């Protein structure tokens, strides 16, 4: 039997996220009857994962050297962006991303700051 490569597993796993999220919401509703915020909670969990998983990219593209580092366990990208916005350590790309998020939700990144 041929071994499945890591990249193939990545494609399968990411392809299952959206359909399984929709199916899981059904079972959460059936069991608990409360799906208010279900998709927001899922998005938050992905955000926390992405902050850690893609920390090298975020640190290279979104903050200046010496700025607050992305990748802290349990922290969202928005919280790290907010700390860099507060500290004046965002790159131009970082500033653009903050501007986009703030257009969707006023002061989004500053409101997302969590101090550890």
Range of the domain at 103: 37-112
Same domain assignment for residues 59 and 29: no
Residues 41 and 91 in one domain: yes
Question: Quick one: pLDDT at residue 71?
Answer: 98
Position 1 scores a pLDDT of 61
Section 71-97 average pLDDT: 98
Contact by Cβ (8 Å): 58, 77:
yes
Helix, strand, coil percentages for the chain (3-state, nearest 5): 70, 0, 30
φ, ψ dihedrals at 63, nearest 5°: -130, 155
Task: State pTM to two decimals.
Answer: 0.85
Structurally, the chain folds into a number of domains equal to 2
């Amino acid at each position: 039997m041929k071994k499945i490569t890591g990249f193939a597993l990545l494609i399968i796993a990411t392809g299952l996220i959206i359909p399984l999220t929709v199916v899981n919401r059904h079972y959460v509703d059936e069991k608990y009857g409360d799906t208010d915020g279900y998709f927001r909670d899922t998005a938050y969990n992905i955000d926390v994962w992405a902050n850690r998983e893609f920390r090298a990219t975020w640190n290279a593209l979104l903050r200046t050297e010496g700025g607050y580092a992305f990748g802290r366990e349990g922290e969202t990208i928005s919280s790290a962006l907010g700390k860099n916005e507060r500290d004046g350590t965002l790159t131009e790309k970082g500033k653009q991303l903050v501007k986009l998020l703030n257009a969707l939700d006023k002061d989004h990144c500053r409101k997302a700051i969590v101090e550890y």
